[in-house]
């Protein structure tokens, strides 16, 4: 992954802008999804008092600079990483399982390609994503990784809670936080009869950015990567009503683009990158290349390993590039969406100045 420019970005933006006044820390218990209130002051979502877990022991690398990547998501991102297993290191950038690149054993996602093949620097990936995860926080177990909230809680109770001397990373300098959710949420909306005007779309995306907001304030996260929905209307699972699911997906992606713009405006000392998986995959369907043959779908809902590789290439190119922020503040996405989101290749940045 091309993360070296992260250091340059933060050194520019952090010196160019005066730091905001420190806000009072507010402690709250995990909220139900119906609230979906985006915090604008530092907050903390503690784990239940009955929950115990041994803290991971993080190896401290020596030698060339290392970049750190904490990823959240569903089966499109999961590599079956266990927080209790071997931790990422220079010798083993994924930590566990033993070989996440083995597509016969594990999900062959975009993660391994960015971490080891398209990276311009040593990159260690801590992958909290879990198959079947949604944004809708409806699970009784607040440590369940089957929701973004559960993954977030697990992160804050372990990695984020380590003493400073045990953290080899610096959150606002060499660390990126990625979030790719929505596939399972759209399936739930679709199966319950929802359409493009379903209020759950905005509620769910608001909950996603509420947690990104907490990462910004609580953890001092400054670099974010967000990926929009693929063209699920072409997935075999939704063949019964392609028009309705297309409306849901386009509404979702437009709302996501709007939230990225808002996040940029409200968090000036940060960088957020939106990857347009919708158009990446649509183009592959129209013009097969890069080894993608006989369609993009591996099954009824999941894309093929070769498609993940193409997405990884696009992400790596976006991380490497440096462009000026669009004057009108818009971000990337299909021009057919309701929101005015002009396409900039297959990615777009919304930052305080330049993009990485």
Kindly report, residue by residue over 21-45, the tens digit of the pLDDT: 333 222 333 333 322 223 333 333 3
| High-pLDDT (> 90) share of the chain, % | 52
pLDDT of the residue at 55: 59
Give the CATH H-level superfamily of domain 4-14+66-351: SGNH hydrolase (3.40.50.1110)
Q: How many other C-beta atoms lie within 10 A of the C-beta of residue 40?
A: 12
Supply the pTM of this predicted model.
0.76
pLDDT of the residue at 27: 30
Interior angle at CA 348, CA 343 and CA 349, nearest 5: 150
pLDDT in tens for each of the 356 residues of the chain? 444 444 333 332 322 333 333 332 223 333 333 222 233 333 333 333 333 345 566 655 444 467 899 999 999 999 999 999 999 998 889 899 876 655 554 457 999 999 888 887 889 999 999 999 999 765 444 457 889 999 999 999 999 999 888 888 877 778 999 999 999 999 999 999 999 999 999 999 999 999 999 999 999 999 999 999 999 999 999 999 999 999 999 999 999 999 999 999 999 888 999 999 999 999 999 999 888 989 999 999 999 999 999 999 999 988 877 333 332 233 333 322 222 232 334 444 433 222 22
SS3 224: strand
DSSP string, 10-68: HHHHHHHSPPPPPPPPEE-PPPPTTT-PPPSS-EE-PPPTT---PPP------SS-EEE
What's the distance, Cα to Cα, between the start and end of the chain in Å? Answer: 12
SS3 340: coil
pLDDT of the residue at 24: 29
Residue 72 parent element (H or E): strand 66-73
pLDDT of the residue at 97: 87
Buried b (16+ CB within 10 A) or exposed e, 267-296: bebbbbbbbbbbbbbbebeeeeeeebeeeb
Q: Are 185 and 249 in contact (CB under 8 A)?
A: no
DSSP 214: H
Interior angle at CA 185, CA 114 and CA 258, nearest 5: 70
């Amino acid at each position: 992954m091309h993360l070296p420019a992260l250091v340059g970005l933060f050194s520019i933006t952090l010196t160019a802008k005066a730091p905001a006044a420190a806000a009072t820390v507010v402690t709250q218990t995990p909220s139900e999804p119906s609230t979906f209130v985006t915090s604008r002051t530092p907050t903390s979502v503690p784990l239940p008092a009955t929950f115990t877990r041994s803290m991971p022991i993080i190896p401290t690398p020596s030698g060339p600079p290392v970049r750190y990547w904490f990823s959240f998501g569903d089966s499109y991102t999961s590599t079956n990483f266990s927080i209790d297993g071997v931790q990422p290191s220079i010798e083993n950038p994924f930590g566990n399982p033993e070989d996440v690149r083995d597509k016969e054993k594990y999900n062959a996602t975009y993660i391994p390609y960015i971490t080891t093949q398209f990276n311009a620097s040593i990159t260690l990936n801590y992958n909290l994503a879990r198959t079947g995860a949604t944004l809708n926080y409806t699970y009784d177990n607040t440590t369940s990784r089957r929701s973004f909230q559960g993954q977030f809680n697990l992160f804050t109770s372990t990695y984020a809670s380590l003493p400073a001397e045990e953290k080899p990373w610096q959150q606002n300098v060499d660390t990126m936080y990625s979030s790719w959710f929505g596939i399972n949420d759209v399936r739930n909306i679709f199966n319950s009869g929802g359409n493009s005007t379903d209020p759950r779309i905005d509620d769910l995306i608001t909950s996603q950015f509420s947690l990104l907001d907490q990462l910004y304030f609580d953890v001092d996260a400054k670099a974010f990567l967000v990926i929009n929905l693929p063209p699920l209307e072409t997935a075999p699972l939704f063949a019964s009503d392609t028009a309705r699911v297309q409306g849901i997906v386009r509404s979702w992606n437009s709302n996501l683009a709007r939230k990225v713009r808002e996040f940029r405006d409200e968090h000036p000392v940060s960088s957020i990158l939106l990857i347009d998986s919708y158009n990446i995959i649509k183009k592959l369907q129209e013009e097969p290349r890069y080894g993608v043959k006989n369609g993009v779908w591996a099954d009824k809902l999941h894309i093929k390993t070769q498609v993940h590789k193409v997405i990884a290439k696009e992400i790596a190119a976006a991380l490497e590039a440096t462009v000026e922020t669009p004057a009108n503040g818009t971000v990337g996405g299909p021009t057919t969406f309701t929101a005015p989101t002009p396409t900039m290749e297959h990615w777009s940045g919304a930052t305080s100045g330049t993009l990485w």
